[in-house]
Amino acid sequence: MKIKECKAIARKTLIGRYGTLIFAGILAGLIVMLFSTAVAGCAGFTLYHAGLLNSRLDRNVPFSLPLVSIGVVAFLAMLLLTWIISIWLDLGKKKLMLNICRGRKYGVGDIFYGFRAGSRPWNYLLAGLIFLIILLVFSLLPVILGFCVPRIPGINARTAKWAVIGIDAVIVLLALYVFTSFLFVTLILTDKPETGLSRAFSKSRELMKGRRIRGFWLITFSFLFWYLLIGVCRFTSLWVLPYIECAMCVFYLDADGSIWQIPDPDYPAVQTAAAAPAPGAASAPVIPESTAPEALAENVPVTEAVQDVYPAADVTGEDSIPQQDASGSIPEAEVIGTETAELRPEAFAEAAYEAEEAVLPELREGTAPEALAETQTELPEMNENSADQTENTGE
């Protein structure tokens, strides 16, 4: 699927759902802000009792080692707790977006999915820690090389400069390859929490085969204007970030083979959950525009074949199907209220069943060809009788 199509489907999917996503984003932001305030309070407590704020407060607070130690421990503990809470809330926001994209029941409470049993948030937390370490490594490598390469004996400044530029370019390309290969790790852990951490990384690499360039374009240049808009006006992130996250989920569902679950009636590949086949199951046969007897010969549902021939027929329930009397005709009172009488779809199935019952004894006696020849004339006669009954009833 093209990136343009992913973004178009994301925009249609978010119609009428932005309110829930914006409120969920505000609630998650307030929770993280509350814990961040606690972190700032611990830092202020530590600096105050360390005597580092005396010049600003015009006070002479003595240095207190026990209080400073408590402040440092509290600061580190609250910093770690804030990071864990933010990661788990991010897990909840991804779950909320996946529920929307899969057409499932969703609500603001989904942002607390990481605190529920069975969500396995520690795998998501470890994945975030791995990505953080990878980001730090790729960020520090250019700095380290830029400091060490010019100091290598025998290399002049011009050669060292171009060597650093070339090595930095290789590092950037390697980092992009790593991040695009593992673009779906967090979505896999959110969508399928039973998946192990190592399996999530390998599964993401499998799904991204042939999609790395599109994935790189999606997370970088595709939303470049929106990134700049967020930088200019932070308030716009309430609308832009759900749009980016939804486009990413659409890209993931396309790679996972479950794009049909997106509740978008304008998208031709989308089917309802009841009509769509389960993953790995055989798809239902396509019913051609044919008459009911031909459909019976191809073993397709009779009611759907009758609807092709008689579009006005109501075959949605047993109560709406007219019943035949002992003579096999449809009473006028039982005819569905339309200008033309509709045939009972079960008549075709009964004709096939009766023909089969007539053939089986002949097969046992060795006269199958004659029985088959007689059977081929029964169905056309049945159709002619039904057509005559329809004309009489209509008159």
Separation of first and last alpha carbons in the chain: 55
Phi then psi for residue 128, to 5 deg, are: -65, -40
Place of tokens 């937390």: 125
pLDDT given at position 342 = 41
Q: For residues 24 and 106, is the Cβ–Cβ distance under 8 A?
A: no
Residues of the chain above pLDDT 90, percent: 34
pLDDT tens string 71-117: 999 999 999 999 999 999 999 999 999 999 998 999 999 999 988 88
pLDDT given at position 42 = 94
pLDDT given at position 283 = 45
Q: Where are the domains of the chain?
A: 3-261, 292-394
Judged against a pLDDT cut of 50, whether residue 295 lies above it is answered with no
Query: Judging by beta carbons within 10 Å of its beta carbon (0-12, 13-18, 19+), is residue 374 exposed, middle or buried?
Result: middle
Confidence of residue 153 (pLDDT cuts 50, 70, 90): confident
Angle between helices 157-181 and 121-148 (to 10 degrees): 170
pLDDT tens string 368-382: 455 445 545 544 555
Task: State which of 27-36, 206-215, 273-282, 381-390 shows the largest mean pLDDT.
Answer: 27-36
- pTM value is 0.62
Confidence of residue 314 (pLDDT cuts 50, 70, 90): very low
CA torsion angle 254 258 261 264 (round to 10): 20
Query: Judging by beta carbons within 10 Å of its beta carbon (0-12, 13-18, 19+), is residue 204 exposed, middle or buried?
Result: buried
pLDDT given at position 361 = 53
The pair of structure tokens assigned to 128 is: 């975030």
Judged against a pLDDT cut of 50, whether residue 278 lies above it is answered with no
The pair of structure tokens assigned to 107 is: 């609500």
For residues 168 and 378, what is the distance between their CA atoms, to the nearest angstrom? 81
Mean pLDDT (the chain, rounded): 75
For residues 13 and 101, what is the distance between their CA atoms, to the nearest angstrom? 7
